[in-house]
Structure 1
Amino acid sequence: MTIDVVRLRVLVAVARAGTVTAAARELHYSQPSVSHHLARLEAETGAKLVQRVGRGLRLTEAGRLLAERGAEILGRLDAASAELSAHVGLRAGRVRLAAFPSALGTFVPAAAARLAKEHPGLDLRLMEAEPPEALRLLRSGEVDVAVVFRYGGAGPEDDGVRLVPLLDDPSLLVTAAGNDRAADLAAYAGAPWIAGCERCRAHLLALCAEAGFEPRVSFTTDDYVAVQAMVAAGLGVAVLPRLALSAHRHPGVLTSELPGPARHVHAATYGEPPDPPATAALVAALLRAQLGAGEGAGDGVGPSLSSSVALQTAVPVPGS
């Protein structure tokens, strides 16, 4: 069985856009052309990929399966194309990075500016994504580097993901200015807590469990700016990573570094070494840029992105 890449791209566009009309607009094709490509793809695969629903079309189970695998295949093809372009000598080509919000608010812009200065012909794309989503984008070939974090002694990633350590990011107890209680978690066992979503608060729960209590979470938000504003207003206390305080520091909060293991921030790449030149250049820029990122909360945000750097937003994800 031979599958035409152009027709596969049409199917993926239909799955992503939701309708033939929207896919045609995205691909700059006519609607009859999209329908023709879908019909030819069905003939090539011998599978029913779309079915009519009223005046529109929707993917069958086989169509959804092929679209999912097709997105991964196209991502790897696009990545290969970018890598080959990069081998020209970093005078051209594209490299794509996904990173969590507080990394984007601290050392990533400095790395992006450095990369743009050293390799002005290189097209850098940035996406905001939390580690699980960033790793999915990396594995599917939609990004070339993912900045991720991990807590504790978690084992290595599997299936080809390689991690380059960037920095250790300690946890800080965040309380309102003027508070005179001891700077340890146990002193706030009865206080209201401000925490992230159910998936994001695991580290806080583990820290509090070690201190002998379960926090009473009164407010839930993954926005570290909002967390600090609520703490400053006396609505509760929180634990934040130092990078979050480096990206934005509210004048009305106090911070105390907590004992115990920090979260480990890594640059993740995918596939067998060595990395393509553009990917290696980006990782090197991240390594150099992060040197001052963890020096202390409230040190400000790194340099602004160069105009040659495109900043994109992926799916809406919790900030951290």
Structure 2
Amino acid sequence: MKIEPRRLLELLAVARHGSISGAAEAVNMSQPALSQSIALLEREVGVKVLERGRQGARLNDFGDALVFYAQALESLLGRAGEEIRMRSLGLEGTLALGITPVTAVDLVPRCLELLMRESPNIAIKVIDGLDQEITEMLRTRQLDVLVRRLGIAPQYTDIEEEPLFGVDWSLIAAPDHPLAQRASVRLSELADVQWVLPAGGSAFRQQMELVFASVGQTWPERGISTNSILAIKSIVMNSACVSVISPRLVEVEAAAGRLKVIPLEDVGPPRPVGLVWRRGEKLSPVAARFAKIIRTLAQEENELRRAAVATP
């Protein structure tokens, strides 16, 4: 079966605009020409892809399946054009990287610094989003590679995952907070504390909801909500509020004595964070360099942490 790529992009326009007329205007075609193109696409694939009615054109299941590949094609063409534009400006290439909040600190920035030092003539775009969002962006070729928690987003046969390191969650409090003197606490026993936690709609909030759900706790309604990790840390340092966060995000403040990190007993073992890419596809040269660097740094960090734990 051979599909004309242009027809996929035209089907994508119909999906976005919900009608042949709206899509025809968007792609600068006449309605009859676009209708004929969709009919030819249906002939190529051997099934109907649109249900036409008084309310417009609606994709059926076959059309939805094709739109996924149409989005990937659109992204791929856009990335190709951007790559050529960058090379025409004297740059070597590009990297589109997807991350989540817990991976935005420490390891990924160090990797990017080493990558830029090794390859200064590159352009890097970093997207911070929900696990599911950046996974879909990877699948539709808007991103080259991800660094995110594993086992959170749905499992797809077209992506591959490689664990790099583990992330745990701890309670943070001001040094003079009553809980700061505890060697450890249980999340399930903190019903009466004042919280500062991520607001809705963020990747950080999604991750925290899973932490509370893992111990059978409902999301706390009392306290302060914000999508700024900087604000969460500052509020905890200057108030009686506490929060749940990865110790990686507060290493500087903890080392300076501004925050106390208290291990949580009941949230389970560290969650794996890893590298994610499209299965069966060769990484671009820049993405391959990034992957090599982050693997090396993760291995070195894991060895240091194991040595620290083994030291009496």
User: Given the alignment, which residue of 246, 262, 269 partners 1:241?
Assistant: 246
> Which amino acid in the other structure matches residue 253 of structure 1?
L
User: Given the alignment, which residue of 289, 295, 306 partners 1:287?
Assistant: 295
2:147 and 2:276 in contact (8 A); partners too: yes
User: Given the alignment, which residue of 190, 193, 211 partners 1:191?
Assistant: 193
Query: Partner of 2:236 in structure 1?
Result: 231
Paired residues for 1:116-131 under 5 Å:
116-131=116-131
Q: Please, which runs of 5 or more residues in structure 2 have no aligned partner?
A: 43-47, 84-90, 306-312
Larger Rg: 2
Give the secondary structure class of the aligned counterpart of 1:165. Answer: strand
Query: Partner of 2:58 in structure 1?
Result: 60
How far is 1:134 from its partner?
2.0
1:10 and 1:38 in contact (8 A); partners too: yes
Using the alignment, how far apart are the partners of 1:52 and 1:58 within structure 2?
5
Paired residues for 1:166-205 under 5 Å:
166-181=164-179, 182-186=182-186, 188-196=190-198, 197=200, 199-200=206-207, 201-205=209-213
Using the alignment, how far apart are the partners of 2:13 and 2:252 within structure 1?
36
Once the two structures are superposed, residues 208-247 of structure 1 have per-residue CA deviations (whole angstroms, 9 ceiling, x without a partner) of x5xxx77754144454233333433435322101233248
Query: Partner of 2:87 in structure 1?
Result: none
> Which amino acid in the other structure matches residue 28 of structure 2?
P
Q: Please, which runs of 5 or more residues in structure 1 have no aligned partner?
A: 84-90, 297-320
How far is 1:13 from its partner?
5.2
Once the two structures are superposed, residues 69-101 of structure 1 have per-residue CA deviations (whole angstroms, 9 ceiling, x without a partner) of 411344467779999xxxxxxx84433211113
Query: Partner of 1:41 in structure 2?
Result: 37
How far is 1:137 from its partner?
1.9
Using the alignment, how far apart are the partners of 1:240 and 1:50 within structure 2?
48
- Alignment identity in percent? 19
Query: Partner of 1:262 in structure 2?
Result: 270
> Which amino acid in the other structure matches residue 227 of structure 1?
I
- The root-mean-square deviation of aligned C-alpha atoms, in Å, is 4.6
Using the alignment, how far apart are the partners of 1:93 and 1:158 within structure 2?
28
Query: Partner of 1:114 in structure 2?
Result: 114
2:173 and 2:259 in contact (8 A); partners too: yes
Give the secondary structure class of the aligned counterpart of 2:245. Answer: strand
How far is 1:286 from its partner?
2.2
Using the alignment, how far apart are the partners of 1:155 and 1:2 within structure 2?
32
Using the alignment, how far apart are the partners of 2:39 and 2:23 within structure 1?
20
Once structures 1 and 2 are overlaid, which stretch shifts more, 100-109 or 60-69? 60-69
How far is 1:253 from its partner?
3.3
1:169 and 1:262 in contact (8 A); partners too: yes
How far is 1:157 from its partner?
4.6
Aligned length, in residue pairs: 276
Using the alignment, how far apart are the partners of 2:262 and 2:23 within structure 1?
51
Once structures 1 and 2 are overlaid, which stretch shifts more, 277-286 or 39-48? 39-48
1:3 and 1:44 in contact (8 A); partners too: no
Using the alignment, how far apart are the partners of 1:129 and 1:221 within structure 2?
16
| TM-score normalised to structure 1 length | 0.64
- Relative contact order (alpha carbons < 8 A, sep ≥ 6): 1 or 2 greater? 1
Name the CA shift for 1:238/1:37 in 2 (closer, same or farther; >3 Å): farther
1:100 and 1:148 in contact (8 A); partners too: yes
| TM-score normalised to structure 2 length | 0.66
Once structures 1 and 2 are overlaid, which stretch shifts more, 266-275 or 62-71? 62-71
Name the CA shift for 1:228/1:58 in 2 (closer, same or farther; >3 Å): farther
Give the secondary structure class of the aligned counterpart of 2:177. Answer: coil
Using the alignment, how far apart are the partners of 1:243 and 1:37 within structure 2?
57
Once the two structures are superposed, residues 100-154 of structure 1 have per-residue CA deviations (whole angstroms, 9 ceiling, x without a partner) of 1342343323322322332344443321122222222222222221111147xx8
Using the alignment, how far apart are the partners of 1:21 and 1:117 within structure 2?
51
Using the alignment, how far apart are the partners of 2:302 and 2:100 within structure 1?
14
Name the CA shift for 1:48/1:276 in 2 (closer, same or farther; >3 Å): closer
Once the two structures are superposed, residues 173-222 of structure 1 have per-residue CA deviations (whole angstroms, 9 ceiling, x without a partner) of 11123113324324644323344457431213435x5xxx7775414445
Query: Partner of 2:139 in structure 1?
Result: 139
